[in-house]
Copies of this chain bind each other. A is one copy, B any other.
Amino acid sequence: MKEDKRERIRQASIKVISKKGFYNTRADQIAEEAGVAVGTIYNYFSNKEEILEYIFEVELKKRLAFLEELENKEGHVLDKIHLFLQKHFNEIIKDPKVGEILVKEKQFPHRNNLNAILGYLKLIPEKLTLLLENGAKKGQIRKCNYKLIGSSLFGAIQGVVEVAIQNNELAILNEAADELTDLFFNGLKIK
């Protein structure tokens, strides 16, 4: 019941924020879209930023859970990365509105210095870094600066999504997983 209302507000927020941007979205616009009163929003979120954080949280938890699953599985690191890319790009193709928010609002400046979004967001390249490190340990890829390459991979993913959304070419994402894996496969194979 409680989660129901929270979810309704999240969905409404995604709709409005993806269209107007978080900065230009007013609390009452979210309320109207969600079919509740403004006050109700504040029964489920303590402030506007928290809604945005929640949107990121939901998406990022999905990715992190998937990455953790992958960590515990056997298999080649680059296959795992390939699976992750497929998963991520598919989610975005499925719900481009959320994708747009992930791309555009990631750096939204929080009033307090605790930026929950960046907190979550850091976990992804960290997981990727770990994946690479373990892959190298198992001799699946060459040694490298894992953190640096992990961050690059994470950045590359975002670069692709950014371009796809900016130019309204979601189709590009369909081949993106293959191309990127290919790039990193050759780039990281044992010499």
Q: Determine if A24 and B156 form an interchain contact, defined as CB atoms under 8 angstroms apart.
A: no
Given A157-B155, A160-B155, are A109 and B104 also a contact pair (CB < 8 Å)?
yes
Q: Determine if B148 and A179 form an interchain contact, defined as CB atoms under 8 angstroms apart.
A: yes
Q: Chain B residues near A176 (CB, 8 Å)? A: 148
Q: Number of A residues contacting the other chain (C-beta, 8 Å)?
A: 45
CA distance A151 to B107 in the complex (A): 19
A147 sits at the interface (CB 8 A): yes
Report A149-185 CB contacts with B as 1/0, cut-off 8 Å: 1011111111110110010000010011001101111
Q: Determine if A109 and B152 form an interchain contact, defined as CB atoms under 8 angstroms apart.
A: no
CA distance A104 to B152 in the complex (A): 17
A138 sits at the interface (CB 8 A): no
Cβ distance A83 to chain B, nearest Cβ, rounded Å: 18
Given A162-B155, A186-B187, A186-B189, are A104 and B107 also a contact pair (CB < 8 Å)?
yes
A-B contact pairs, 10 of them (CB 8 A): A118-B166, A144-B182, A151-B163, A152-B183, A155-B156, A155-B162, A156-B156, A156-B159, A159-B159, A186-B188
